[in-house]
Amino acid sequence: MMRRQNVSVLLVALAACFATANTASARIKLITLPVRERVEIQLDNANATLVEEERIVPLVKGVNQVDFSWANTQIDPDTILFRVLPRPDGKAAALDVKVLSVSYPPNENALVWQVAAGGSGSARVRISYLLGNLTKSFNYRAVADHDERTLVLSQYIRLQNFANEAFGSTGLWAGFGPRFLKAIGINETKQMLMEKYEKVPVKKTYTADATEFGYLDRPKNKLTVPMHYVLTNNKANKLGQAPLQFGKVRIFQDDGRGSTAFIGEDWGKFTPLDDEMRLYVGTAQDVVVVRTIDKNEQKRVAGNLYNREVIVKFEIENFKDRAIALDVSESVRAIRNEVAGDTGRDVEWEIGAETTFPGGLDKSRSTFDKIVLHANLDARGADGTAKKIVHKLHVIIKNEW
């Protein structure tokens, strides 16, 4: 079977006069290339795949030609490097092997190295290059326990080889995690388990945010309340070995009867150490949040300068059989646009005294424009009814004109 790559050597010394002649017009097709002794593929760069292969090449005393061709293989010719490595027995050093020059035969995907050897024998060489169409991606399987307090997170790496080259037993490394020794066939997709994290603490959140998630029923002012699993990528939460890579997450839950139920999938963002990964797990139909504007007044400060006072009212009911915490988020710019139109200016604001959310503003999560508040909701009653609670956000938008 013909190989798509051919590295070959001339096994006779070239006379000095021949070595200085024009060899481009008489390129020699040489013997079958020596088998790869070792291959390493590094997948740590998002835009390039580095291949390093080592071979034992027989050399004769004098000048040798080493021919490397890559017809139909996605090698970047500008990245090919050839190095002679020392051998443990010291014989390569005794050969005094040196690379003299490199030439590129015209109209071919090939190059020829001129290699000088002080004696006859074998030398270990390393050829490295960037290879296209050999790509990786990541995906996850998350299985939450029945009470949704912890989950098992399995991380997989998926390798797709469309580079038109097969590799035998090959070392694979993604830049973190375990190293794999696998064969990679042409046009093959291979998936490998990288890590399995047991008993990862998970926080289930409920969020009401008119700007980001909108309304479930706009005529009734009923907000959409999405649910998320939130994982913190640190060692205290059984993770924290490396950044979690971007990838699709398939999410399951233990059904309490010895099996699991599929509850959805989401794209997990790239998550550095100590950051959070939020995974969408559906919309809460049993948490009702009705949002209305309860007050919208202008108060003149001086001249045509005024402050605008707005109260946003939230009527909240929890029909779940357990207590939950609801995160309520509001964009101050969006509030101003809603009550007065978009002026295009940045917003200067402060929280007013009529705000009723316990604990007030969540300073760790709020920004120059976004207000984050929290409401604790009791479980529904034994008769299935939910207690309605009302909270208000009082915001003063300052120095408008």
Contact 29, 7 (CB under 8 A): no
Residue 138 exposure: Cα atoms within 13 Å on the Cβ side: 22
Supply the DSSP symbol for 20.
T
For 216-248, write each residue's pLDDT tens digit: 999 999 999 999 999 999 999 999 999 999 999
pLDDT at position 92 is 53
pLDDT, tens digit, 9 for 90 and up, residues 102-122: 999 998 999 999 999 999 988
User: What's at 206, amino acid-wise?
Assistant: Y
Residue 204 has pLDDT above 60, yes or no: yes
Determine the pLDDT at residue 149. 96
In angstroms, what CA-CA distances link 400 with 330, 354, 369? 19, 21, 16
What pLDDT is attached to residue 22? 37
- In the chain, DSSP finds a helix count (H) and a strand count (E) of 3, 26
93: pLDDT confidence band, cut at 50, 70 and 90? low
Q: How far apart are CA 266 and CA 248, in angstroms?
A: 6
**Residues in CB range of 48: below 8 A, 6 or more apart:** 130
How far from each other are the two terminal CA atoms of the chain, in whole angstroms?
80
Q: What is the pLDDT of residue 157?
A: 98
Strand order across the beta sheet in which 62-69 lies: 6-9, 62-69, 110-117, 98-103
Q: Residue 234 is encoded by which pair of tokens?
A: 């640190």
**Residue pair 117/95 in contact by the 8 Å Cβ criterion:** yes
* Residue 228 near residue 279, CB atoms below 8 Å: yes
Q: How confident is the model at residue 347 (pLDDT cuts 50, 70, 90)?
A: very high
Burial status of residue 25 (CB atoms within 10 A of its CB: 0-12, 13-18, 19 or more):
exposed
Question: How would you class 90 by CB atoms within 10 Å of its CB: exposed for 0-12, middle for 13-18, buried for 19 or more?
Answer: exposed
* Rounded percentage of the chain residues whose pLDDT exceeds 70: 90
Tokens of 366: 């709020």
Does the pLDDT at position 264 exceed 70? yes
> CB–CB of 312/356 below 8 Å?
no
E-strand stretches of 27-109: 36-42, 49-59, 62-69, 81-85, 98-103
The pLDDT score that the predictor gives to residue 55 is 92
Q: Is the pLDDT of residue 18 over 70?
A: no
**pLDDT value for 95:** 82
- Residue 31's pLDDT is 34
One DSSP character per residue, 203-256 reads EEEEEEETTTT-EEEGGGTEEP-EEEEEEE-SGGGT--SSPBPPEEEEEEEE-S
- Greater model confidence, 99 or 47: 99
- What token pair was written down for 317? 């009911």
What residue segments make up the domains of the chain, in order of their start?
A: 6-131, 287-400
Mean pLDDT of 202-213: 98
Alpha helices in 192-254 (DSSP H): none
Rg of the chain taking only CA atoms, in angstroms: 33
Q: Is the pLDDT of residue 174 over 50?
A: yes
Query: Where residue 71 falls among pLDDT bands split at 50, 70, 90?
Result: confident
Q: pTM score, two decimals?
A: 0.85
CB count in 10 Å sphere of residue 236 = 9
Q: Where are the beta strands (DSSP E) in 20-60?
A: 36-42, 49-59
- Element holding 61 (H helix, E strand): none
- pLDDT of the residue at 34: 75
* Cβ–Cβ under 8 Å, residues 54 and 83: no
pLDDT at res. 47: 85
- pLDDT band, very low/low/confident/very high, at 30 (cuts 50, 70, 90): very low
Task: Name the least confident of 33-42, 140-149, 328-337.
Answer: 33-42
How far is residue 172's CA from residue 157's CA, in Å, rounded to a whole number? Answer: 11
**Averaged pLDDT, 358-364:** 95
CA dist., res. 179 & res. 170, Å (int): 10
Local structure of 128: helix, strand or coil: strand
Tokens of 33: 């290339």
Question: Residue 15 has what pLDDT?
Answer: 33
Mode of pairing for the β-strands spanning 260-268 and 222-223: unpaired
DSSP H or E stretch at residue 334: helix 332-340
Q: What is the pLDDT of residue 35?
A: 82
Q: Does residue 211 surpass a pLDDT of 60?
A: yes
Average pLDDT of every residue of the chain: 90
The band of 91, judged by pLDDT with boundaries at 50, 70 and 90, is low
CA distance 320 to 391: 19
Q: Are residues 347 and 336 in contact, defined by beta-carbon separation less than 8 angstroms?
A: yes
Least confident of 16-20, 97-101, 109-113, 387-391: 16-20
**Predicted confidence band of residue 156 (pLDDT cuts 50, 70, 90):** very high
